[in-house]
Amino acid sequence: MRNRPSVKRMTPDISWKDITPGGTIYDAGNAEDFKTGDWRAMKPVWIVEKCTQCMLCPPVCPDTSIPVKDSKRLDYDYDHCKGCGVCVEICPFDAIDFVKEGE
Amino acid sequence: MAIRERLSGNEAMAVAMRQINPDVVAAFPITPSTEIPQYFSQFVSNGEVDTEFVAVESEHSAMSACIGAAAAGARAMTATSANGLALMWEMLYIAASSRLPITMSCVNRALSGPINIHNDHSDSMGARDSGWIQLYSENNQEAYDNLLQALRIGEHEDVMLPVMVCQDGFITSHAVENIELLEDDKVKGFVGEYEPDHYMMNPKEPIGVGPLDLPAYYFEHKRQQAEAIKRSKKVIMDVAKEYEKLTGRSYGYFEEYKLNDAEIAIVIINSTAGTAKTVVDKLRDNGIKAGLLKIRVFRPFPAEEITAALKNVKAIAVMDKAESFSAVGGPLFTEIKAALYGVADGINIINYIYGLGGRDVRSDDIELVYNALLEIQKTGKTGETYRYVGVRE
């Protein structure tokens, strides 16, 4: 092993022999690989039949996890939703349920 | 032809740094290492070096600036002592774990408190687990030679770790002694250019240094860091061999002085080795088989080699110029004892704490230690292992 990376990306099964020295990150733009939604404790659930597409919820999402297409919201991007519940609070129509993760 | 000079230990370090001509020096003045950046800043002002000298506002910033510079791809150096080193503490670990080969002159001084500006080894001994390679120097010549070798060791691609070169505050840092310097071009040829594989100022490869390292990765990085300091052992010897070819001066993990047939020996670090050698000579004149082992490399700790060198000695005194408050002895003592355990059992080994806070250590004090060893050799009884010399009872 030398002081150069034998891999470009670190994965959770990488050995100490292959891991990048000092944790140096050699590939820019790798944030797309990082799923920030995996530490969510509470989960918003979109109730489509109650939703009026008022569009109050997408702009308040701090993680841009409510995708919008053709002026309509779509289902959550759970890879990045951290379950903060701001969308649940803003919804005037009780169209977003808020449940414990895994239930 | 080498240059014969008369320099203090601090001057020797500053001259070595001028000859190295590093990219960045960031330092903050603290007694007794102040003169190193002071002399060096004169070289900067005189245009004798191309170095970017960063006059920071604290030692924490000095080490931070070195880390930033080294991550950017620069060869970075600094100097400090005692509380300055302590203020660098968290950054020492970050430098080592980020695998940045920064080089430091550590001029050993007692770490407060009570506040004291004189020599002992409590500062660098406290930093022994920070991941830095530590080289110790008996005199100005060794300090100079160690600093030149330090760059080659730390920057070696198998190592990539920071190195501190230690010498005794005031005793060698301020005492002027004869010294043999290399010519500037020979130093330049020996240390070469620092060309890291990866660095932040490389526009072709944008990298991130020092990211958050959670439980999924931190352990692997620490294991890898431990491997790097293990590998440094070979590099230290390779560099020493190359340096010997250049200068004729030979270096190893430690120096053995009349140790080959010794029955009693002391293990010691830095300048007091000089005093102790005089005592060894005197005892040898009286037919006493006394010897000495002087540590040069304390991190990595050359346990196997030390054991091999000490295995035939009957009684050993390990001299610690630092307390570790373990209530069982100083840091060098516990390391030596651990090294011998199970490999060279049956040797009587005691510990002396000496010279704290600059307490003068005379040849009489060292003689007292050898006399205690003679007594142990005669009676076969170690008695109290955790002892003091030079303290008022």
> What tens digit of pLDDT does each residue of B71-114 get?
999 999 999 999 999 999 999 999 999 999 999 999 999 999 99
Chosen domain end from B232, B247, B262: B247
- Cβ distance B220 to A16 less than 8 Å, yes or no, reads yes
Q: What's chain B's length in residues?
A: 393
Q: Which of B197, B208, B227 sits opposite A25 (nearest CB)?
A: B208
Which chain A residues are Cβ-neighbours of B219 within 8 angstroms?
A: 16
> Token digits for B346?
């049956």
Does one domain contain both B161 and B184?
yes
Q: Over chain A, what HEC string results?
A: CCCCCCCCCCCCCCCCCCCCHHHCECCCCHHHHCCHHHHCCEEEEECHHHCCCCCCHHHHCCCCCCCEECCEECCCCCCCCCCCCHHHHHCCCCCEEEEECCC
What pLDDT sits at residue B157?
A: 94
User: Could you state, in order of their start, the residue ranges of all structural domains in chain A?
Assistant: 1-34, 35-100
Q: Which helix (H) or strand (E) holds B75?
A: none
What pLDDT sits at residue A1?
A: 34
What pLDDT sits at residue A27?
A: 77
What pLDDT sits at residue A30?
A: 76
- Beta bridge mates, B208: A25
Collapsing DSSP states into helix, strand and coil, what is residue B78? strand
For B349-365, b/e burial (b = at least 16 CB within 10 A) is bbbbbbbbbbbebeeeb
What pLDDT sits at residue A2?
A: 42
Instruction: Quote the distance between the C-alpha of residue B152 and its chain's center.
Output: 15
Is residue B40 within 8 Å of residue B92, measured between CB atoms?
no
Does one domain contain both B87 and B28?
yes
CA distance A39 to chain B (A): 13
For chain B, what is the mean pLDDT?
A: 97
Does one domain contain both B227 and B260?
no
**Distant-in-sequence, close-in-space partners of A59: CB < 8 Å, separation ≥ 6:** none
Does one domain contain both B129 and B275?
no
Q: What is the pLDDT of residues B192-249, one digit of tens each?
A: 999 998 999 999 988 999 999 999 999 999 999 999 999 999 999 999 999 999 999 9
Q: Which fold has domain A35-100?
A: Alpha-Beta Plaits (3.30.70)
Does one domain contain both B228 and B197?
yes
Bigger pLDDT: A32 or B165?
B165
| B279 burial level (CB within 10 Å; 0-12, 13-18, 19+) | buried
- Cβ distance A23 to B211 less than 8 Å, yes or no, reads yes
Domain extent, residue B119, equals 3-247
Collapsing DSSP states into helix, strand and coil, what is residue B377? helix
Q: What is the pLDDT of residues B324-378, one digit of tens each?
A: 999 999 999 999 999 999 998 889 999 999 999 999 999 999 999 999 999 999 9
- Beta bridge mates, B297: B135
Query: What is the number of domains present in chain B?
Result: 2
CA distance A3 to chain B (A): 6
Mean pLDDT calculated for residue range B115-124 = 98
Does one domain contain both B87 and B229?
yes
CA distances from A62 to A65, B155, B313 (A): 8, 44, 70
What pLDDT sits at residue B355?
A: 98
Mean pLDDT calculated for residue range B165-169 = 98
DSSP-derived secondary structure letter, B208: B
The single residue listed with the structure tokens 């150096």 is B77
State the CATH number of the domain containing residue B56.
3.40.50.970
DSSP-derived secondary structure letter, B105: E
**Distant-in-sequence, close-in-space partners of B37: CB < 8 Å, separation ≥ 6:** B14, B25, B27, B28, B29, B53, B78, B79
Q: How confident is the model at residue B1 (pLDDT cuts 50, 70, 90)?
A: low
Q: Which of A17, A19, A26 sits opposite B207 (nearest CB)?
A: A26
Does one domain contain both B202 and B74?
yes
Mean pLDDT calculated for residue range B263-283 = 98
What pLDDT sits at residue A34?
A: 78
What pLDDT sits at residue A4?
A: 52
Number of other CB atoms surrounding residue B282 within 10 Å: 15
Number of other CB atoms surrounding residue B135 within 10 Å: 27
Does one domain contain both B216 and B311?
no
- Cβ distance B198 to A1 less than 8 Å, yes or no, reads no
What pLDDT sits at residue A29?
A: 76
Chosen domain end from B247, B263, B290: B247
Q: Which residue of A has its CA nearest to B155?
A: A3
What pLDDT sits at residue B286?
A: 97
What pLDDT sits at residue A26?
A: 85
Does one domain contain both B186 and B275?
no
Q: Which residue of B has its CA nearest to A8?
A: B207
- Which of B93, B200, B207, B214 is the best residue to mutate to test the A interface, defined by the most A CB atoms within 10 Å of its own CB? B207
Kindly report the pTM of this predicted structure.
0.91
Does one domain contain both B324 and B373?
yes
- Beta bridge mates, A98: A44
Mean pLDDT calculated for residue range B301-314 = 97
**Distant-in-sequence, close-in-space partners of A76: CB < 8 Å, separation ≥ 6:** A44, A46, A65, A66
> Token digits for B120?
């002992």
pLDDT at B251 over 70: yes
Is residue A69 within 8 Å of residue A58, measured between CB atoms?
no
**Which of A26-40, B42-56, B140-154 is predicted least confidently?**
A26-40
Does one domain contain both B260 and B219?
no
Query: If you count DSSP H runs as helices and E runs as strands, how many of each does chain B have, helices first?
Result: 13, 15
What pLDDT sits at residue B17?
A: 98
- Cβ distance B224 to A1 less than 8 Å, yes or no, reads yes
Chosen domain end from B247, B278, B306: B247
Average pLDDT of adjacent 10-residue blocks, chain A of 103 residues: 54 89 84 83 97 97 96 96 97 97 82
Does one domain contain both B121 and B165?
yes
